[in-house]
Structure 1
Amino acid sequence: MNDQERQAELRRLDMTLEEIEKQLLISDKDCYTQEAELRASLQSYWDYGGSNAVDEAQLVETVDRQRALTAVTHGTAQKLRKMINSPYFGRIDFIEETPGYQEQTEQIYIGISTLTHKETGEFLVYDWRAPVSGMFYDFGLGKAWYNCPAGIINGSITLKRQYKITNRHMEYMFNADWKIDDEVLQEILGKSADDKMHTIVNSIQREQNQIVRDETHRALFVEGPAGSGKTSVALHRIAFLLYRDRDKITSKNILILSPNHLFSDYVSNVLPELGEENVPQMTFQDYVSQSAANLSLQFETRSAHLEHIFASSDDEASQIRSAGIRFKSSGIFDQALQEYLNWIQTSLVNEYPDIEVQGEIIFTQNDWKHYFLDSYSTMPVTIRLEKIRELIQIRMRPFVHALREEKEAALIAGDEEVNEKVIKAMARIQARQQLQPLIDKVDRLTSLNPLEEYRRLYSKNSRLIQFLANKLPAKWHAIRKQSLAFMNQGILPYEDIPPFLYFQGILQGFAAKPDIKHLVIDEAQDYTSLQYKIMVNLFPNSSWTVVGDPAQTLHPFLHTAPFNTASTIINIEKQFMVRLTRSYRSTKQIQDFCQSLLPYKTEVEPINRPGPLPTVCFAETPEESSEMLLKTIRQHIADGWNSIGIICKSTAESEMLFAELKDHIRHLQLVTSEDDQFPRGIVIMPSYLAKGLEFDAVLVINVDESNYNRTEERHILYTICTRALHRLNLFYQGKISPFISQLDKALYK
């Protein structure tokens, strides 16, 4: 790039900034005018009042219209303000090669939002989501094409250029060829981490872009190693869908299912940075809390459950619990539950008796089957039974009225000195008393409590046992006794929550959310088959983006659903599975160390960003361990690393360490709740809250044999270590974890 080109680029930047300033001035003025008109309309109404419903309707219409205009103008102003500091980050020169079309080079500048010249209508900046902008991510110099409403447009890219513009100042620009240049990635990835995740719009890679812009499939399953950008891709895909389908959906029609609220807070900046409103986020625990609101049992929370599992010993009760978790999340239990529910839906009333009133049958066995299995068969079981109860009550009415009249006649014949009202009331009471056994019988036959029905699954002679036959686990009787003991104490164990909620939903009906048109599931490797089945029923009109990494499965005993199983459960046409293989988070040295922790070799291509080897530090005493920690933390601070994650296995360990260090480190923070906000700086937290987060430096505490010994704990250690961007330090006393002692010594210092 010669000096003449550089000067031309600087003039182009000045012209773009000038146009943004002009449009921003107009937009701000329009906002002020529209707000003034809105206030005037409201004031006029209050001053003079509306005398009738027509006046009020006109006012509402006027206010709604003015509010809508104000919202649009405010949105325009907000986008312009985002653009003014950095209006674009890339450029391609494209020559369209369409027959009959005069070949000419079009300069396409690409940024966060579209900018057109107010007077000429010329495109000054194209939104990164526009069809033509996709070529910036997908092609190098030479032949290229893009798909738009008019069809496929073929041509050639003759120039590809990248920029870094900060606070309206051109920091650098350079020509690139095939991909977003590694220099840009190295600069971005080499920085200190912030307290929030940020957009990667200027560094999206080709394989990521294809996921973001996929328009063919209704269900995308994205698997990839830690740091491959799965969450970023999912968030940028949301922004793309909001742009592409802006006439059909809004941010309210999209939902992110996050692992916890801490993670939700961490990713909350990305969509606003892309000029879109944040979409609703919820956790599976939120759904659990809503479902448990009117139940007599308290549901065990995910955090409390994981804390119990991570801190538990190998005593008999813990072994029974772990066996129960494995079994209740297994395909065998799932299948038996389905068979039991099918039995309820098809055979519950098979042996129900005739309903007889005063010697006359008003509801036969065939009636039970007809209405339960035919007329009301599309309804949930509890609704079917309620409808049948109403039908029986209708058929009982003539007998009830006749009985009341009989009782009234007897009371009158008895010459009791009471008035007519009293006689009628007494007759009604007597008739009710006489029919009470029948009323109770009908209520009993037409009532089904999902919680009580679920509790019966663990009874000694449960019908579930018949469906399981010879597939019962060795510890079944101990598992069922422990499960009943929990429920008798008023607690539904965490491992029983998905089975129960699915059980309840099938019997009572799910509180479906048909307005959700797209669902994003993050950390999807932690979900069981029954959780996916619940979500299919909750979001019947949704397309899906499902992202996860099997290597980061956190729960040591839970059988989670692999993507091929989830795909079968979701069961919609046009599904696609893709695996990202390149990891952008950690240095090569940290990446090599983490991959070696896994029991199998995975296809991971680390970005060539060098750094020091991870360190593994042994301390003889707790005092020496504390000194080592403090020294390491102070060194990281001196080196300019602002974000330091001190990760323990459990909350109990985190609280103990915080008590030791809080007087020695300024602004040290402890995070132990899923509802906390993601903090900036130096933080101590348990392993299960670190999922999806990243830190400049990660200090892993107590990597000894007692903490990380069981095969199931290998993935926990891997997940913790993969949180590190630039520095990784592990500390232990006593005997080191076999997962580390078995590693090649060249991988760490």
Structure 2
Amino acid sequence: MAAERDHLAASRSALTRMRERTAALDSSAAGDWVSRMYLESAIFARMKALADDPTVPLFFGRLDYDPGHADALGERFYIGRRHVSDEAGEPMVVDWRARISLAFYRASKAEPMGVVLRRRFGFQHGEMTAYEDEALLEGVVEDHSEILESEIERPRVGPMRDIVATIQPEQDVIVRSDLDQSVCVQGAPGTGKTAVGLHRAAFLLYSHRDQLSRQGVLVVGPNASFLRYIGDVLPALGEIDAQQTTIEGLVGATLTRLNAKYAVRGADEPPVATLKGDARLAEVLHRALWSRVQPPTEGLLVPRGSRRWRLAPYEVEEVLAALRARGVRYGAARGMLAQRLAHGILVKMEDSGDSPDDRVQDAVARSREVKRYVDQLWPPVDPARLVLRLLGDPDALAAAAEGVLTAEEQALLLWDRPFKAPTSARWSLADAVLIDEVADLVERTPSLGHVVADEAQDLSPMMLRAVGRRCSTGSTTVLGDLAQATTPWASRSWEDALRHLGKPDAHIEQLTKGFRVPGEVIEYAARLLPTIAPGLEPPTSVRRTRGELEVVRVEDDELLDRLAALVGTAVDRVGSVGLITPDVLLPRVVDALTRAGTGHAVLGDESADAAPVEFQVQLDVVPASLAKGLEFDHVVLLEPAALVAGEADHVTGLRRLYVCLTRAVTSLAVLHTEDLPPELGSP
């Protein structure tokens, strides 16, 4: 133990030297100001990557290799979150993503991968407290690791942590899958699918640094609260380049790119939002856009010097047909049209005996006559105005939707009143997704190198298309659970979702081993699966501790008093506490906690999050609509029946209940006055 602690101290000293050496680099040595700015940016990023948190273990494992191993030759490697080398360049800590670290996660008695001994370290607040050894080439290897178990069950306080020390073999296979392979992870609650997706992003950034630093990596989450919860994972792994956003942020960036002076400020009723999210709307928008291209009614006449050159209407029609046959985007084809028309004029000049060059063609393409003619045949399009016209003009919608949408569906899409300008319209999120679709039809959306889409089961087909456009030439990691689909437009199968995403060949992995949700809790929640997701394999908990489950029924006038007692008991224990309530009961619950003097934070309340707090808030009040993806050591769930009734239909409500039941890591208390949904059975 003393020797291992000495190595830890020496490794921290080496990391400090690496940071000091980086800080000493002189950016003034650059040849020009552009190079200097680039060098300063690189130094800054390197300094952030080398930051050391003394409360976080610098390494968590050790591998001793067989002297006969081809790569390691009997060497010893310490596995950690980042690479640390001594003054001579020898590795003191090896990054967990390096190829030599693979055996830490995959080696077994049956396949030792050249490892003689695997050691795991236990830490408390950054101090080494224990270690465990597995001798893979001799004797019997214990399947159970107390250090691994204690790390998995460590109380959750604050944002989500990385799982780099506890990645399981089936998770590691996903994490280390190739960049060119898109992966879909169907993961039951507590299986670590979100962490797997984030660790895959970190692995790809490490393995393909040059490529992805240029192309970019994006994480798309369900809401801002979820992004704050996972926001520290990638930086803790030394990755600060990946961007994070929501669907609202994704399409909002398109509005910004279009210099739009409007934003999402409206909301659709579920049937309307579901229809706007239908993939058939893509065909409607495509028709509406390309209907703007008009056949010529007269030829093009271009004066040049003392002569006039003319293209006949049939010649122009041939140019238009050729451009449309190329399948390029509307804006790109419009840009080509002027040059194609100018080329036609150039050919006529050559036929008459002239010898014009490319400069003449460019001059003709830029001439007032050609520009005016192009605007008549192929007018410029503002994506928002096109969507505005479709949703406000019955005739325009009928022309574009004929044979695609029924008359009833068209009536459902139309706004109650037409808006004259995009700035006056009350755009909804579904409307913004439609604008994003049109914007891509006009000008191609730039593709990133890799996109991680979490809680993807809740995205509509049109939203999936929006995400897919961001990785059209890259790959994606799709994360979700069909049993937790809680939107009316949610996906019912991953095959359909991947098709809308543009990745039909993505590999689908299923994770069913729960590492976070205790057995008694997951088995109780799994009673809902035959109704909400009959095709899914029920999850199982691999934890030895069964957890605690308490289902309590009280009279209505006792509800708040009993709630305060349950919350008080949970807060007195170690770890985080989440009080999950139906959205409709949120004001009543918050008022009761305030009157009782119980310190709390309200998830999703930005003003409350920003307010100064004089004590460590351990209790989060969580509206049921924001519970997805979060975890708490202790959960108090209020009124399941009201939670189910608050959704659009009974099955969707049961899915929401399934989400809320599976947020607990240690204990779950269900408090209710109304009858529980019959699908749960008796407590």
Fold shared per TM-score above 0.5: yes
1:662 to 594, 601, 607: 594
Match of 2:459 in 1: 527
Work out whether 1:338 is the aligned partner of 2:338. no
Per the alignment, do residues 278 and 627 of structure 1 end up closer, same or farther by CA in structure 2, a change over 3 Å counting?
farther
- What is the match of residue 429 of structure 1? none
CA drift of 1:700 comes to: 2.6
8 Å CA contact retained: 2:221, 2:246: yes
Matched, 1:354 2:298: yes
The structure-2 alpha-carbon separation of the partners of 1:26 and 1:94, relative to structure 1 and needing over 3 Å to count, comes to closer
Distance 2:242 2:124 in 1: 28
Q: Are 1:202 and 2:168 counterparts?
A: no
2:11/2:93 contact within 8 Å kept: no
Cα distance in 2 for partners of 1:65, 1:730 equals 55
Aligned partner (choices 133, 138, 156) of residue 106 of structure 2:
138
* Aligned positions of 1:246-325 closer than 5 A: 246-250=209-213, 253-277=216-240, 279-293=242-256, 294-295=259-260, 298-300=263-265, 321-325=269-273
The yes-or-no answer on 1:713 pairing with 2:671 is: no
Moved more, 347-356 or 188-197: 347-356
Where in structure 1 are there 5+ consecutive unaligned residues?
A: 1-8, 43-56, 146-155, 306-320, 397-431
Relative to the length of structure 1, the TM-score reads 0.73
Residue among 489, 494, 517 paired with 1:563: 494
Q: Deviations over 1:34-76 (max 9, x none)?
A: 4xx56xx59xxxxxxxxxxxxxx84637845874785487367
2:76 maps to 107
2:680 is the counterpart of 1:743: yes
Q: Which has the larger radius of gyration?
A: 1
- Rounded to whole Å, the distance in 2 between the matches of 1:27 and 1:441 is 60
The answer to whether the Cα contact below 8 Å between 2:636 and 2:670 also exists between their aligned partners in 1 is yes
Partner of 1:381: 330
Task: Write the distance in 2 (CA, Å) between the matches of 1:444 and 1:355.
Answer: 11
Larger CA deviation: 238-247 vs 366-375: 366-375
Q: Check the 8 A contact 1:224/1:579 in 2, yes or no.
A: yes
Moved more, 441-450 or 692-701: 441-450
Give 2:571's aligned residue: 637
Partner of 1:86: 57
Q: CA deviation at 1:170?
A: 3.3
Q: What is the CA distance between 1:33 and its match in structure 2?
A: 4.3
- Cα deviation for residue 275 of structure 1 reads 2.7
Indicate conservation of the 8 Å contact 1:618/1:731, yes or no.
Answer: yes
Structure 1 distance, partners of 2:443, 2:110, is: 56
Per-residue deviation, 1:206: 0.5
In the TM superposition, residue 644 of structure 1 has moved relative to its aligned partner by 2.0
Q: Distance in 1 between matches of 2:294 and 2:389?
A: 19
1:619-638 mapped onto 2 (5 Å cutoff): 619-621=555-557, 624-638=558-572
Aligned mate of 1:578, from 499, 504, 509: 509
Determine if contact 1:389/1:446 at 8 Å carries over to the other structure: no
The code of the aligned residue for 2:387 comes to: Y
Whether the 8 Å contact between 2:295 and 2:377 is mirrored in structure 1 is no
Cα gap change, 1:71 to 1:157, in 2 (>3 Å) = same
Q: Which aligned pairs between 1:594-605 and structure 2 lie closer than 5 A?
A: 594-598=525-529, 599=531, 600=534, 602-605=537-540
1:106-505 correspondence to structure 2 within 5 Å: 106-119=75-88, 122-145=90-113, 156-166=114-124, 169-176=127-134, 181-215=144-178, 217-250=180-213, 253-277=216-240, 279-293=242-256, 294-295=259-260, 298-300=263-265, 321-331=269-279, 333-334=280-281, 337-338=282-283, 341=286, 344-345=289-290, 349=293, 351-354=295-298, 364-375=312-323, 379-382=328-331, 384-385=333-334, 446-457=379-390, 459-462=393-396, 464=398, 469=403, 472=406, 475-476=408-409, 478-482=411-415, 490-505=425-440
Inter-CA distance 486–647: structure 2 relative to 1 (3 Å threshold):
farther
Q: Residue 641 of structure 2 aligns to a residue in which SS? A: coil
CA contact (8 A) 2:186 2:479 kept: yes
- Rounded to whole Å, the distance in 2 between the matches of 1:471 and 1:21 is 64
Which of 21, 30, 33 lines up with 1:30 in the alignment? 21
Amino acid paired to 1:537: R
For the residue of structure 2 that corresponds to 1:89, the secondary structure is strand
| 1:230 Cα deviation from its structure 2 partner | 0.9
Is the alpha carbon distance of 1:548 and 1:470 closer, same or farther for their aligned partners in structure 2, counting shifts above 3 Å? closer
Q: Secondary structure at the match of 1:250?
A: helix
Aligned pairs for 1:646-685 (under 5 A) are 646-650=579-583, 653-673=585-605, 680-685=617-622
Kindly provide the CA deviation profile for residues 480-536 of structure 1, in whole angstroms up to 9, marking residues without a partner as x: 445656899722333333234213421x224x334x322111111122222232233
Q: CA deviation at 1:635?
A: 0.9
Q: Residues 661 and 500 (structure 1 numbering): CA distance in 2 closer, same or farther, change over 3 Å? A: same
Contact 1:456–1:462 (CA under 8 A) maintained in structure 2: yes
**RMSD between aligned alpha carbons?**
4.1
Does 1:74 pair with 2:47? Answer: yes
Once residues 35 and 340 of structure 2 are traced to their aligned partners in structure 1, the CA distance between those partners, rounded to angstroms, is: 49
Distance 1:653 1:394, change over 3 A: farther
The aligned residue for residue 703 of structure 1 is 640
Show CA shifts across 1:327-358 (max 9, x none).
33334x34xx426625753x654654226889
Q: Percent identity?
A: 20
Distance 2:590 2:495 in 1: 42
Distance in 2 of aligned mates of 1:513 and 1:445: 23
Report the alpha carbon displacement of residue 251 of structure 1 after superposing the two structures with TM.
9.0
Aligned residue-pair number: 631
Are the equivalent residues in 2 in contact too, given 1:353–1:364 (CA < 8 A)? no
User: 1:449 & 1:30 partners in 2: Cα distance?
Assistant: 52
Distance 1:26 1:451, change over 3 A: closer
Look up the SS of the partner of 1:496 in the other structure: helix
**Quick one: which of 92, 95, 99 aligns to 2:66?**
95
Aligned-residue offset at 1:203: 0.8
What's the secondary structure of 1:203's corresponding residue?
A: coil
Give 3-state SS (helix, strand or coil) of 2:621's partner: strand
